[in-house]
A = this chain, B = another copy of it.
Amino acid sequence: MAHRESLPALLRVLNGERLDPPPIWIMRQAGRYLPEYRELRTRAKTFLEFCYSPALATEAVMQPLRRFPLDAAILFSDILVVPDALGQKVWFVEGEGPRLEPLLPLTEWKLGEPEKAIQRLAPVYEAVERIKAGLPDGVALIGFAGGPWTVATYMLQGRGGDKDEARLAIYQRPNDIDALLDVLVETTAQHLAAQVKAGADCLQVFESWAEGLPPLAFQHVIIEPTRKLVARLRSLGVTVPIIGFPRGAGAQIAAYANETGVNALGVDTQTPADYAFEVTPEGMALQGNLDPQTLVVGGEALERAARDVLIAFKGAPHIFNLGHGITPQASPENVARLVEIVKGGA
C-alpha cells in the first residue's frame, strides 16, 4: 500500500502535496502504552539516563515501527534535556512528571551556555544517527525540541500544571524573561540543527503550553521567540521543514502559523480543521488531530472519530496524527486499527 516514491510521504506532504491516504504518525508513538517499551524502560535507572542512552533511545523508536506501518519515526528524547544540558537540575517523579529546581524564587537566574549544552547533548545526536541508519525505506525521521516558552515555563515553575506564575513573570521580570528566552532560542536552534546534521529529515517544535496567554504576551513569548528560532535555524543552514505545534493556542494559531516562519502546523484536539485550514497560508501542511482518548476506547467511537478527522482535513496537505500525545491507557490494538482505517482512506 505504501507509496514507493523516492521522498517519504511525510516529506511530500510537508512540501505541500495532498496525499490520499495521508501519512500517519502518532505523538509519543514510542511510549508507555507499549508493553515492550515498559520493559525496555526498566533497563535505565532514571528517565534522563534512558534518554541519554543512544542504544535504548534507538530501540524505543524502533518498537512501534515493528508493530505498525507508520510513515515517520520521531527521536526518543524529552524537551527537558535542554534545561538539563544548560545545567538546571531536572528529574522525573514516577507517575507525576518532571521536576526542576525552579528559577522563579531566585533573584538572579544563572543560565548556562548554549555551546556547552550542545556538547552535553552529544548522546542525543548519536541516537539520531543510529535511528537513521536503522529506519525502513519511506519512513521519515523527525527531530524535535520544546518551544522556548514551554521549556521556559518548566524552568521557571519547576513543574507542569498551572502556568500562572510563569505568566506573572512576563509582567514582573520582562528583562529576565527575555534573557531566558534568548538563551533557549539559541540552544534550541543549535540542538535542532545538530539533529538535522545527524540525520533528521524534518523538525517539530512542541509549544505544548501555548494556552492562556493574552495577545500581547503571546506575541512576546511565543511568536517572537519562535520567529527567532526559525530564523536562527535557517542561518545555521537548516533547510528541512519545521512543524510548529502550539497546543492550546486557540484563535492565536492564526498569528503563529503566519508570523513565525514554521512550514507546517500541528493542530490540537480542540481546533476545528476548517478553522486551521482557513487561517493558514495556502498549501501549508496541517497535522492532527484525533482525540487520544479514542485510542483508549476503540470500537465505533474510534472509527467515527478517525473518519471525521480524515474528512475534515481532506482539503489540506494532511499528516494524520493525534491532537495530543497518546496516553499510557491506549491499547496497541486500537492503534493498529487506527492505522488500518487511515491507510484504507476515508
- Residue from B213, B273, B312 within 8 A of A270 (CB atoms): B213
Pair A291/B167 contact, Cβ less than 8 Å: yes
User: Could you say which residues of chain B place their CB within 8 Å of the CB of A293?
Assistant: 164, 167-168, 171
* Chain A contact residues, CB within 8 Å of chain B: 164, 167-168, 171-172, 211-218, 248-255, 269-273, 275-276, 289-291, 293-294, 296-297, 301, 304-305, 308, 312, 323, 327
Select A171's contact among B248, B253, B271, B301, beta carbons within 8 Å: B301
Whether the pair B272, A251 counts as a contact (CB closer than 8 A) is yes
How many copies of the polypeptide does the oligomer hold? 2
CA distance A254 to B172 in the complex (A): 33
Q: Are A297 and B168 in contact (CB under 8 A)?
A: yes
User: In the assembly, what is the distance between CA of A218 and CA of B250, in Å?
Assistant: 14
Q: Give complex CA distance A270, B218 in Å.
A: 8
- B270 engages A212 (CB within 8 Å): yes
User: Given the complex, which residues of B lie within 8 Å of A253, measured CB to CB?
Assistant: 251
> A301: which B residues are within 8 A, CB to CB?
171-172
A272-B252 in contact (CB<8A)? yes
Least CB separation from A170: chain B residue:
B293
Contact of A251 among B218, B251, B323 (CB under 8 A): B251
Chain B residues within 8 Å of A294, by CB: 171
What are the nearest 7 A-B pairs in CB distance?
A250-B250, A251-B275, A171-B301, A171-B297, A214-B291, A168-B293, A215-B272
Bound form: Cα–Cα A251–B312 in Å: 15
CB distance from A47 to the nearest CB of B (A): 20
Whether A269 and B214, one on each chain, are in contact in the complex, defined by CB atoms closer than 8 angstroms, is: yes
Determine if B271 and A250 form an interchain contact, defined as CB atoms under 8 angstroms apart: yes
Cα distance A289–B215 when bound, in Å?
10
Cα–Cα distance between A255 and B272 once the two chains are bound (Å): 10
Closest B residue to A174 by CB, please name it: B301
Cα distance, A251 to B246, chains bound together (Å): 14
Shortest C-beta distance, A88 to chain B (Å), equals 24
B216 lies within 8 A of A305 (CB): yes
The distance from the CB of A311 to the nearest CB of chain B, in whole angstroms, is 11
Q: Are B251 and A327 in contact (CB under 8 A)?
A: no
Point out the residues of chain B lying under 8 angstroms from A272, CB to CB. Answer: 215, 251-252, 255
Given the complex of chains A and B, what is the CA–CA distance between A305 and B172 in angstroms?
A: 13
Which residue on chain B has the smallest CB distance to residue A216? Answer: B308
Residue pair A296, B250 in contact (C-beta under 8 Å): no
B250 touches A270 (CB 8 A): yes
Q: Is the CB of B289 within 8 A of A214?
A: yes
A255's nearest neighbour on chain B, judged by CB, is: B272
Residues in B neighbouring A217, C-beta threshold 8 A: 291
- CB A200 to nearest CB in B, in angstroms, measures 30
| A251 to B, closest residue via Cβ | B275
